[in-house]
Chains A and B, each alone.
Chain A
Amino acid sequence: MLNRKARLTAAAVVAATGIALTGCAGDTGASTGGPAQITFWGWAAGYDKSVALWNESHPDIQVKYETITNGGAGGYDKMLAAAKAGTAPCLAQIGYETFSSFLAAGLLQDVSQYVKPQHAEFPEWVWGNVGVDGAAYGVPVDTAPMGMFYRSDLFTAAKIAVPKTWEEFKTAAAAVKAADPKARIMNLPTDPYLYAGFAWQGGAPWFGVNGDAWTVSLDSAANSTVAGYWQGLFDQDLVTSYPAFDAALFSAWNSGEVWAEVGPVWSASLIRDNAAKSAGKWAVAPMPRWGTDDSVGNSGGSATAVMKGCANPKEATEFAMWMSTDDKSVSNLIESAAILPASTSGLANAALDAPESYYGGQAIYQVFRSESAKVNSNWRWGPVMSTTAAALGDGLGKVPTKSATFQDALSGAQTDTVSALEAQGFSVSK
């Protein structure tokens, strides 16, 4: 039925073409006379307006912005494919969690020399997210420190104190259940990136760099402590277990079935837009601490990365730095996407002092502004993060049905990550 000879012949003929294509490389951003042209791929709301603002005032450096699919939903795959074809853009929006992976794939350009003058704009932990060993491969845009969003009306009515430590949180969880048997204090964090924020806070990094090798530590003792805490809450039925971002969870926030959410700054708009009925009843407090350790987790944030083939790295970096620090640009980004700026100039923006009616008139971003300085600096995202996140996500997804524990999920992700790294030839130090 299948003519194998024909197929083999055809395949052989195109194999030569195939091998030839492997070596195909193009260049991006030719720098002949005229304004420098820089392409920029991103998806966050407001980026296009910032680009337009820049283009108006900078005729010598023109940025062409293209909206692509959200990174995790295909945008990163598109960037990888473009890089392979040699047609990658000059600048790309890359979340911190994926930044190390692009770095490890050798797809980014070192722009340390161009960002040096403005080094003081960003705290050290933020610079650590856009490079290794002090080098920078892009410019940070925003951060996502975590905080505790809670129903102040329900806590007050039940006379439960807002917890300041994780010990107090556990006590409060039991109190919430006692006050209303159908309610729980929070939803179990089973999304790998959300859960990462808790490990981040707890000084339990998953990855590190040891000389010229990566280290993978999802199964460390510190991680077991954090995992054990959440497993405990679940085992004692003190938390709900809806999937993250699920409409059922939003409904639970609305109805008072779930009283709080410890999450990153962008949960503010998530809660506000999806739980409209409980407007005015929420408030924001700092994230519970581990004992006396005054550090905070971070879950999110992105940078503007400079891709390897970019022919105008100096101009590209100049634009990226402007986007993250210029007052007009930052005001636009705060307004469009409700981000928390990473830069010192950005954090001074008056928009962050505005009271939020949804949160009972509290100026919630002031909380995050001060918390952002306390983010634990001992964290690094991994070099094959999509594999790690997929493996961890699979494992954590089994926890609500009791087919696995947090520890199992972490161990599984550890194994999968190490084998993926070794298969690709990375140096992994134990």
Chain B
Amino acid sequence: MSPVTIQRPSRRRELRRAAPFVLPFLLLFVVVYLVPTGYSVVQSFFAVKRSGLGLGGAETVFAGLGNYVRVFQDGDFIASLGRVTFIGVIQVPVMLGIALVLALLIDSSVSTGRKFFRVAYFVPYGLPGVIAALVWSFLYAPSLSPITGFFASIGVDVSFVTDGALPFSIANILTWAWTGYNTILIFAALQAVPAETMEAAAIDGCSGWKAALLIKVPLIRPALLLTLVFSVIGTFQLYNEPVTMKSVAPNLPSTYTPIMAALRSLSGNDFNYAAAQSVVLGALICVVSVLVFRASARRVD
């Protein structure tokens, strides 16, 4: 077989080659993501001014940074940002820790019934978010919950819906729903760890948990980073779960999370303010994601 020489083709030729592959996706991407984003950002610099009773309609005026000033003076919105940060801190590490352990366990030779467990762990992810939240709201509702009932029968008074318990109850729904998804992602990454590496380690005396932690985990760092960033983003965009919880926990405010606050502005027909709120949220997510990437990059030598 003759050796193949690989030439470096010109950039223009590469562009022509790439175009039919990239353009279909890119065109749709611009329409579905970039145009709405651009629209939102532009709208955040405008405001609607009505007069009198408002019957005569409204005019849109340029408002500069007015909406953003309002955002930073909005105590409820700032509180919502703090809340999702808190939920992220208590939930994401726990969930990813569990996902990592479960993925390692499924991957290890010590486990049996891998297929069953893979499906079992995946099922919650297959339940639509609103449905999962619905089921959990029935499981948390003070007078209906079989769990509360069970504890009451042994004399323990638990409530999942007090102000203090709410972040943890919501964190639980998130962990329940998303661990399986992350387990699958990590498990898939573990498949790429070459058998030779593990065998070599075993020969050197490193096997079982030691091997898993010291060898497998570092090798799947990119996948772990991916799940971390996606989880952080997902937490900041929290919406379905608190909204469904509201029906069993009336003490849950309508501005519990930033998205809820922005959608409340939308329902109040204050589109420009909602745009500003979502730009601020998007910017915060950006900053946090970049920080997470930087922090993990520093650890990889």
Contact = CB atoms under 8 A, between A and B. Distances in A.
Interface of A: 1-2, 10-15, 17-19, 21-22, 76-77, 80, 84, 101, 103-106, 132, 190, 209, 212-214, 242-248, 251, 308, 383-384, 386-387, 390-391, 393-394, 396-398, 400-401, 403, 420, 423-427
Contacts of A401: 162-163, 251
B53 A394 contact: no
B250 interface: yes
A386 B268 contact: yes
A400 B286 CA distance: 39
A13 B30 CA distance: 11
A248 B142 contact: yes
Given A18-B42, A390-B254, A84 B293 contact: no
Nearest to A72: B267
Contacts of A251: 143-144
Nearest to A248: B143
Interface stretch (B55-63, B107-115, B192-200): B55-63
Interface residues of B, number: 50
Interface in B16-52: 30, 34-35, 37-39, 41-43, 47-52
A132 B53 contact: yes
Interface string B258-278: 000000101111110100000
A17 to B, nearest CB: 6
Nearest to A212: B52
Contact of B54 (A22, A242, A383, A386): A383
A17 B144 contact: no
Give chain A's interface secondary structure class: helix
Contacts of B251: 397-398, 400-401, 403
B161 to A, nearest CB: 9
A427 B51 CA distance: 6
B126 interface: no
Given A14-B37, A106-B54, A423-B70, 14 more contacts: A13-B38, A14-B39, A21-B39, A104-B50, A104-B54, A212-B53, A244-B250, A245-B247, A246-B248, A386-B267, A387-B264, A394-B253, A423-B270, A424-B54
B54 A103 contact: yes
Contacts, number: 152
B281 interface: no
B255 interface: yes
Nearest to B58: A106
Given A106-B55, A423-B270, A246 B35 contact: no
Given A387-B264, A424-B49, A427-B52, A11 B250 contact: no
Top 7 nearest A-B pairs (CB, nearest first) are: A397-B250, A14-B38, A106-B57, A248-B143, A18-B39, A104-B54, A425-B49
7 contacts: A11-B37, A11-B41, A14-B34, A14-B38, A17-B38, A19-B42, A242-B143
Contacts of A396: 250
A257 B38 CA distance: 56
Contact of B38 (A11, A394, A426): A11
Contact of A80 (B141, B142, B249, B269): B269
Contact of A105 (B43, B54, B162, B248): B54
Contacts of B52: 212-213, 426-427
B53 A383 contact: yes
Contact of A10 (B38, B55, B141, B270): B38
A393 B254 contact: yes
A84 B143 contact: no
A424 B52 CA distance: 11
A397 B247 CA distance: 10
A113 to B, nearest CB: 16
Given A18-B39, A403-B163, A420-B270, A243 B254 contact: no
